[in-house]
Amino acid sequence: MMDVFNLISRAQGSYVRSIDDGPIEDWAEHFTDDAFYKVTTADNHRRGLPAGVIWANNKAMLKDRVSALKEANIYEPHSYRHLLGQPAILEESDGGATSETSFLVIRVTGNGPTDVFASGRYLDEYVVEDGQALIKKRIVVCDSSRIDTLLVLPL
Amino acid sequence: MSEYNPVVTAISPDTVSERRWPKSLTEVPYWVFQDEDVYKAEQERIFHGPMWNYLCLEAELAAPGDFCATFIGEQPVLVTRDHDGQIYAFENRCAHRGSLIAMENYGHAKDFTCVYHAWTYNLQGDLTGVAFEDGINGKGGMSPDFCKAAHSPRRLRLANVHGLIFGSLNNDVPEIEEYLGQEILDRIERVLGGRKPVVLGRFTQNLPNNWKLYMENVKDSYHASILHLFFTTFGLNKLNQKGGIIVSENGGHHVSWSAINREAEAKAAGHYKDQKIRSESDYQLEDPSLVDSFSEVGDDITLQILSVSPGFVLQQIQNSIAVRQVLPTGVESTNLNWTYLGFEDDTEEQQLVRMKQSNLVGPAGYVSMEDGAIGGFVQRGIAGASGEFATVQMGGDQAVSSESRVTEASIRGFWKVYREAMGFDIEESK
């Protein structure tokens, strides 16, 4: 059985692949049914402000994000490339671990240039089920308070 | 004496005033979104002009010493609460050499010291200290007739409208009650009157377009059901909606609202059930609790978008309450500052509803994300068309209130106030 560092690394590799290369439907499958997911800023996080630009307290809401971006929302086609740091394992138990991972997201819109879109860190709680690490809680803390144009693909 | 005459490169107000604007409110020339000299003149005539600009919430300055560093147009402004309990605002620029006095957006201070040469200001913006004012050992220092009181940053006029702090850099601005008019005041009171707002989060969206394209979008009730397909796609459209558009008397401010008819809706739901039709949509939300809402202030109004010229929006979309501050940062770039609100007496359940519904708005909002991109599509679309005009004829050619939201009346109102403030030459005929 792999140790938790490897399980998390494996899950995160698969997570970013689902967003960057698809299929995007796989993204929600990296979470537990009762997962919490929020995208916020370092400033809001430091001040303890609870709202997110994306806020979900179950996997169904994450699936709704995906169907909305596929079926309802209108935006210029674009793609991300996530670059993740190594996960720092902060706490480890039999059933899971908490970890922090830095990320950088590059965005290419239409036939435009390669732009840095977001940097920040994932504050995570993972549970290990059937030899697989699933996200029970992910707070995406963006370093900047600014989001360019719009955020439709998740981070 | 030299014959040298410096070339005046600064904008001459006349070149802007001589620009001709169509008489009819249904035509908007595209150069107004493109030209650097117009942008510079706006800073002077709109943002430094006789207008009220939203600065921050009173709730963000709860305790003496709390401050907020914000902007009016490009002009940095500092808003504070002093120990006398009063709110003050002054230009965030040191009287000495022009450096920012405060850099943090929101913070708490006893006083402000400019980092450059340690000139010090109190919370009311008075210059109270000049480092080495008397020099050292009787040498150097400021001249004895230097008067600190004459070197304080310029103070703003302030108005507090149900906890919204507005400021003006112009002494000729009318009283805020007169500026807004009773209908707009009433609609602000409807959402904020007697309530204590709590900030739930702040986000800035960078828009790749001129600030006025965003204000047009806010005032455009015609686009809402066409561009924003989230509610229709998931079959969440409310039936039997009543609503309307309020355009303030001067044209500059507006309210777009809609309400549900709870009785008719219950009946219609039964009817749909009888017919075994769920909705016209193939798609459903897996978690429809996203749109479970409570009556925000005890009435049936589920949507109220309110704008105040030049750049303020107060929004109620179901139970998502937010203020938006529109700040130009260049001819083709704008900062849209979102502040999401709850209220002190919200129950836990109500706060949960607000959290879920925060997904509807902001840079990632199901019903607002498109607005972040559409201005850029226009900005790119009109490149090369500075001699052409947008046409805003929906619902006639006036800037008046209407029961129908299929109208561009409040866009026409925005331009009415804008073209007057800018002093453009109005074309008599085409």
Q: Contacts of residue A63 in chain B, CB cutoff 8 Å?
A: 286
pLDDT at B5: 47
Give the angle A82-A87-A91 at the CA atoms, nearest 5°: 145
Nearest to A68 by CA among B17, B376, B230, B351: B230
pLDDT at B6: 43
The pLDDT tens digits for A89-112 are: 999 998 999 999 999 999 999 999
Mean pLDDT of the B280-285 span: 75
Domain A4-142 top-level CATH class: alpha beta
Pick the residue from chain B with its C-alpha nearest to A146: B204
B244 shares contact with chain A (CB less than 8 Å): no
* E strand or H helix that includes residue B243: strand B242-247
Mention every residue, 6+ apart, whose C-beta is less than 8 A from residue B223. B217, B374
B333/chain A closest Cα distance in angstroms: 10
DSSP B92: S
Among the partner residues A40, A61, A146, nearest to B287 by beta-carbon distance: A61
B382 shares contact with chain A (CB less than 8 Å): no
Among the partner residues A54, A146, A150, nearest to B204 by beta-carbon distance: A146
**Average pLDDT over all residues of chain A:** 96
Residue A53's DSSP bridge partners are: none
pLDDT above 90: percentage of residues in chain B: 79
Among the partner residues A43, A53, A67, nearest to B364 by beta-carbon distance: A53
Q: Contacts of residue B227 in chain A, CB cutoff 8 Å?
A: 74
Among the partner residues B105, B359, B369, nearest to A150 by beta-carbon distance: B369
B415 shares contact with chain A (CB less than 8 Å): no
- Say how many C-beta atoms besides its own lie within 10 A of residue B301's C-beta: 19
Among the partner residues A49, A53, A72, nearest to B362 by beta-carbon distance: A53
Listed by number, the residues of chain B in 338-367 with a beta carbon closer than 8 Å to a beta carbon of chain A are 340, 351, 354-356, 358-359, 362-366
pLDDT class of B224 with cuts at 50, 70, 90: confident
Which region among B189-198, B234-243, B360-369 has the lowest average model confidence (pLDDT)? B234-243
pLDDT class of B271 with cuts at 50, 70, 90: low
pLDDT at B14: 64
pLDDT at B211: 98
A2 shares contact with chain B (CB less than 8 Å): no
Pick the residue from chain A with its C-alpha nearest to B356: A55
Listed by number, the residues of chain A in 55-84 with a beta carbon closer than 8 Å to a beta carbon of chain B are 55-58, 60-61, 63-64, 67-68, 71-76
Whether residue B1 has pLDDT greater than 80: no
The pLDDT tens digits for A125-150 are: 999 999 999 999 999 999 999 999 99
pLDDT at B269: 58
Mean pLDDT of the B147-170 span: 95
Which H, E and C letters describe chain A, residue by residue? CCCHHHHHHHHHHHHHHHHHCCCHHHHHHHEEEEEEEEEEEHHHHHHCCCCCCEEECCHHHHHHHHHHHHHCCCCCCEEEEEEECCCEEEEECCCEEEEEEEEEEEEEECCCCEEEEEEEEEEEEEEEECCEEEEEEEEEEECCCEEECCCCCCC
Q: Contacts of residue A76 in chain B, CB cutoff 8 Å?
A: 373, 377
Which region among A4-18, B84-98, B212-226 has the lowest average model confidence (pLDDT)? B212-226
Whether residue B280 has pLDDT greater than 70: no
Bridge pairing between strands B333-343 and B197-207: antiparallel
Which region among A6-10, A14-18, B134-138, B271-275 has the lowest average model confidence (pLDDT)? B271-275
pLDDT class of B385 with cuts at 50, 70, 90: very high
Mean pLDDT of the B131-139 span: 91
Q: Contacts of residue B356 in chain A, CB cutoff 8 Å?
A: 55, 57, 61
Q: Contacts of residue A149 in chain B, CB cutoff 8 Å?
A: 205-208, 363, 372-373, 376
Helices (H), B211-290: 211-218, 224-227, 230-233, 262-274
pLDDT class of B7 with cuts at 50, 70, 90: very low
CB contact under 8 A, B290 and A64: yes
**Average pLDDT over all residues of chain B:** 90
CB contact under 8 A, B369 and A73: yes
pLDDT at B282: 73
CB contact under 8 A, B363 and A53: yes
Whether residue B262 has pLDDT greater than 50: yes
DSSP B4: -
pLDDT class of B281 with cuts at 50, 70, 90: low
Phi-psi domain of A149 (left: phi exceeds 0; alpha: psi -120 through 50; beta: other): left
A116 shares contact with chain B (CB less than 8 Å): no
Residues constituting chain B: 430
The pTM for the full model equals 0.94
Nearest to B220 by CA among B43, B45, B358, B28: B28
B280 shares contact with chain A (CB less than 8 Å): no
The pLDDT tens digits for B173-207 are: 999 999 999 999 999 999 999 999 999 999 999 99
CB contact under 8 A, B370 and A150: yes
Output the CA torsion B107→B108→B114→B119 (10° steps): 160
pLDDT class of B222 with cuts at 50, 70, 90: confident
Residue B324's DSSP bridge partners are: B313, B338
CB contact under 8 A, B283 and A71: yes
